[in-house]
């Protein structure tokens, strides 16, 4: 009876969850299936091995090439397309994965414009029949960013937004009326659209902590923080990652208070490396990183870009190492030490100047989406490459996951 009531909730009541920015439901929209592309993107081409973990590959193939169809794609281990959602013209998809909502597996992704800057889009939830059941927005007049869309099983979600405002930066050599872009983290009720929690980087982090150069004009928005991930750690506290401060933050998820900083100019922990591991040239563990995750007691993983370009593009890229990588960091809170204990280097020794993620699988394996590079990989717990595959040239995916899905 309990299982039946859950299915009823996800199949009927949740069908009324399609939201506008004001929380008004549109049941007719909720019944629409995903748009089917006439020609899904070319599948991944395997260069080494095959994926060993359970599940299918979830990606969001994106390209600016004429005629290319952007979207969200599930690919099985034989390279066949299981499902493909075609993005609306002029938009891209991001952070596509399967998650759990009210005990049922669902598909989620973001679709919109401006990913990587002042993005404007919507988070979507599809049921196991590939029918749209919810549209989620950041609320309170903010647009929804595509870096993260994280469901809680209780019908709430964590979303990100970028908010433009003005700040006095004269204390750090800037204008007293500089346009800035602050990072916003919110928890929203999927059914009503109500904002349950909101955190603004400008109220908790100093502008001086940024590694991003100040723009030449006060009217050019300064993307000083660049929030790109929000997750929960094993203690139920928030983990927030900021690309342009080279740091992750552990937050009290009720008050928003910063409990510690890992990395950056004001790190709570002294940064060290275990034997055989390497800090970057600035003595840091990560730089321009993405996707912080808790993977055990006092253990955290990052996708470590180690590179960025002008305004977080790949143009005129700077770097702190000669390749991107994933890293595992162990904290020793009593001694205020953070130690780099493991890493997986980009197999072709390349730098991903934007995007990327590192997903911890069973038995210590790691699945990696190499961001703006057209590659994905799987490593075993010792760092041995198990699988490496590529999209066609010019195609990339913001993140890549290996996840279970059964329609």
Q: Which of 78-92, 153-167, 269-283, 329-343 has the lowest mean pLDDT?
A: 78-92
Q: Is the pLDDT of residue 345 over 80?
A: yes
Please give the Cα distance from 4 to 13 (Å, whole number): 13
Share of the chain above pLDDT 90, in %: 81
Q: Structure tokens of 114?
A: 């401006």
- For residue 22, what pLDDT is reported? 31
Q: Structure tokens of 246?
A: 């080279």
- For residue 32, what pLDDT is reported? 40
Q: For the chain, give the longest Cα–Cα distance.
A: 65
Q: Is the pLDDT of residue 29 over 60?
A: no
Please give the Cα distance from 137 to 95 (Å, whole number): 15
pLDDT digit string, tens, across residues 259-285: 999 999 999 999 999 999 999 999 999
The torsion region of residue 190 among left (phi > 0), alpha (psi -120 to 50) and beta comes to alpha
- For residue 234, what pLDDT is reported? 87
Mean pLDDT of the chain: 90
- For residue 61, what pLDDT is reported? 96
Q: Is the pLDDT of residue 5 over 50?
A: no
Going 27 to 28 to 33 to 34, the CA torsion angle's sign is negative
- For residue 39, what pLDDT is reported? 59
pLDDT digit string, tens, across residues 169-181: 999 999 999 999 9
- For residue 35, what pLDDT is reported? 47
pLDDT band, residue 40 (cuts 50/70/90)? low
Q: Is the pLDDT of residue 300 over 80?
A: yes
Architecture of domain 56-403: 6 Propeller (2.120)
From start to end of 203-349, where are the E strands? Answer: 227-232, 238-242, 247-251, 258-263, 270-273, 290-296, 299-304, 307-308, 318-319, 325-332, 337-345
Q: Where are the domains of the chain?
A: 56-403
- For residue 27, what pLDDT is reported? 29
pLDDT band, residue 407 (cuts 50/70/90)? confident
Please give the Cα distance from 157 to 123 (Å, whole number): 10
Between residues 162 and 15, which one has the greater pLDDT? 162
- For residue 79, what pLDDT is reported? 86
How far is Cα of residue 44 from the mean position of the Cα atoms in its chain? Answer: 21
- For residue 311, what pLDDT is reported? 55
Q: Is the pLDDT of residue 361 over 80?
A: yes
pLDDT digit string, tens, across residues 318-343: 899 999 999 999 999 999 999 999 99
């Amino acid at each position: 009876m309990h299982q039946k009531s859950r299915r009823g909730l996800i199949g009927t009541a949740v069908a009324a969850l399609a939201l506008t920015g004001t929380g008004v439901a549109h049941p007719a929209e909720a019944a629409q299936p995903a748009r089917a592309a006439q020609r899904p993107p070319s599948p991944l081409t395997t260069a080494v091995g095959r994926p060993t973990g359970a599940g299918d590959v979830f990606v969001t193939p994106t390209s600016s090439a004429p005629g290319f169809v952007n979207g969200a794609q599930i690919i099985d281990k034989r390279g066949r397309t299981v499902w493909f959602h075609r993005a609306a013209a002029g938009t891209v998809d991001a952070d596509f994965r399967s998650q759990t909502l009210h005990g049922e597996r669902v598909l989620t992704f973001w679709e919109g414009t401006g990913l990587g800057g002042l993005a404007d889009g919507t988070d979507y939830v599809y049921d196991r029949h590939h029918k749209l059941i919810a549209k989620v927005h950041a609320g309170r007049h903010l647009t929804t960013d595509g870096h993260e869309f994280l469901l809680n099983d209780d019908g709430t979600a964590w979303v990100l937004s970028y908010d433009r405002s003005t700040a006095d930066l004269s204390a750090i050599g800037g204008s007293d009326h500089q346009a800035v872009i602050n990072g916003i983290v919110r928890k929203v009720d999927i059914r009503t659209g109500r904002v349950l929690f909101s955190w603004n980087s400008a109220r908790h982090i100093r502008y001086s902590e940024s590694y991003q150069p100040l723009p030449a004009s006060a009217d050019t928005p300064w993307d000083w923080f660049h929030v790109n991930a929000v997750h929960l750690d094993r203690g139920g506290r928030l983990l927030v990652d900021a690309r342009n401060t080279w740091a992750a933050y552990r937050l009290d998820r009720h008050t928003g208070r910063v409990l510690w900083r890992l990395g950056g100019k004001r790190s709570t922990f002294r940064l060290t490396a275990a034997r055989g591991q390497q800090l970057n040239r600035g003595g840091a563990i990560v730089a321009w990183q993405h996707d912080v995750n808790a993977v055990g007691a006092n253990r955290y993983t990052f996708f470590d870009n180690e590179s960025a370009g002008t305004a977080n593009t790949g143009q005129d890229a700077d770097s702190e190492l000669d390749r991107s990588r994933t890293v595992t960091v162990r904290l020793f809170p009593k001694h205020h030490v953070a130690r780099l204990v493991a890493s997986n280097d980009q197999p072709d020794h390349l730098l991903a100047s934007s995007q990327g993620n590192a997903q911890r699988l069973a038995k210590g394996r790691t699945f990696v989406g190499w961001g703006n590079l057209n590659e994905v990989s799987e490593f075993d717990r010792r760092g041995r490459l198990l699988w490496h595959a590529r999209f066609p040239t010019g195609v990339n995916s913001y993140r890549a996951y290996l996840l279970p899905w059964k329609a």
